[in-house]
């Protein structure tokens, strides 16, 4: 056991140094080869017969999809590095789901000119906020699958928002992982920003990983 743990830690440190030299590890972050589970409150139950996902606010027409219809929307895959505000990072994670950018481009969501921000609404009233420009980036996804498998309940099944860093796209803004809500149920497009659960508790509103914007 000791040798296995030592070998695993050696691999982790080597990979961490490689990412740091490649400029992929933000300040204050350490690499993990695991996928830590962090959330506030209990894991909600999922009933596909009653679940739906809604789009509302500054849109031409409010929309709602049940679980079956949501899974018929255009699918997108993205490989990103995850960076948590609690200082762990996980590299080269593969996600599959629905891109808000694609939904807008293909007319599933028609935004009003006043739309500037997006409030993510999750189970139990949890919310978090992002500028519209970030939600429309390639590194933001409404995810149903992780590394080729459906999400596990502790990681947000059936649907979570996920945001991370694409190494080949340094131009894209990347906030910490809490800006993608687990157990997502709705997106509200707004003209004014509205801080969510952790932002109201003192976390930074923009949460840029490269600027270490952890707390306001």
Per-residue model confidence (pLDDT) at position 38: 81
Note the pLDDT of residue 2: 45
Tens digits of residue pLDDT in 7-18: 678 899 999 999
| HSE (side-chain half, CA atoms, 13 Å) at 137 | 23
Q: Which residues in 50-76 are b (16+ Cβ under 10 Å) and which e? A: ebebebbbbbeeebebebeebeebeeb
Six-digit token string for 103: 């939904």
Q: Is residue 103 part of a domain?
A: yes
CA distance linking residue 133 with residue 209, whole number of Å: 17
Domain of 96, CATH number, reads: 3.90.420.10
Calpha distance 157→66 (Å, rounded): 15
Does residue 85 lie within any of the structural domains?
yes
208 assigned to some structural domain:
no
Residue 9 lies in a domain: yes
Say what the pTM is.
Answer: 0.94
User: What local confidence, expressed as pLDDT, does residue 39 receive?
Assistant: 81
Q: Which domain holds residue 172?
A: 2-36+46-200
Pairing of strands 76-83, 63-66: unpaired
106 within some domain: yes
Task: Please provide the distance, in angstroms rounded to a whole number, between the alpha carbons at the two ends of the chain.
Answer: 42
- Residue 41 domain flag: no
Q: Strands, E, within 16-107: which ranges?
A: 30-31, 52-57, 63-66, 76-83, 88-98
Burial class (CB in 10 A: 0-12, 13-18, 19+), 113: exposed
pLDDT greater than 90 at residue 216: no
Q: What is the mean pLDDT of residues 58-65?
A: 98
- pLDDT tens per residue, range 184-205: 999 999 999 999 999 999 999 9
In a domain? residue 129: yes
Is there a contact between 137 and 118 (Cβ–Cβ < 8 Å)?
Answer: no
Beta bridge partners of 98: 142
Task: Give domain status of residue 216, yes or no.
Answer: no
d(CA 118, CA 202): 19
Q: What is the pLDDT of residue 130?
A: 98
Domains identified in the chain, total number: 1
């Amino acid at each position: 056991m000791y040798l296995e743990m030592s070998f695993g830690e050696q691999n982790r440190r080597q990979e961490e140094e490689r990412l740091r030299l490649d400029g992929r590890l933000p300040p204050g972050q350490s690499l993990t080869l695991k996928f830590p589970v962090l959330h506030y409150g209990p894991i909600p139950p999922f009933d596909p017969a009653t679940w739906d996902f809604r789009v509302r606010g500054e849109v031409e027409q409010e929309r709602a999809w049940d679980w079956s219809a949501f899974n018929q929307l255009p699918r997108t895959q993205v490989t990103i590095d995850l960076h948590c505000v609690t200082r762990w990072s996980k590299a080269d994670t593969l996600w599959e789901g629905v891109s808000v950018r694609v939904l807008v481009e293909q007319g599933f969501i028609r935004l009003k000119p006043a739309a500037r921000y997006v409030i993510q609404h999750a189970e139990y009233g949890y919310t978090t906020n992002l500028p519209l420009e970030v939600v429309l980036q390639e590194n933001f996804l409404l995810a149903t699958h992780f590394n080729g498998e459906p999400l596990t309940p502790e990681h947000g099944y059936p649907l979570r928002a996920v945001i991370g860093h694409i190494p080949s796209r340094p131009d894209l803004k990347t906030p910490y992982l809490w800006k993608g809500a687990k157990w997502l149920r709705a997106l509200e497009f707004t003209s004014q920003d509205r801080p969510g659960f952790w932002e109201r508790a003192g976390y930074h509103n923009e949460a840029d990983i490269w600027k270490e914007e952890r707390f306001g």
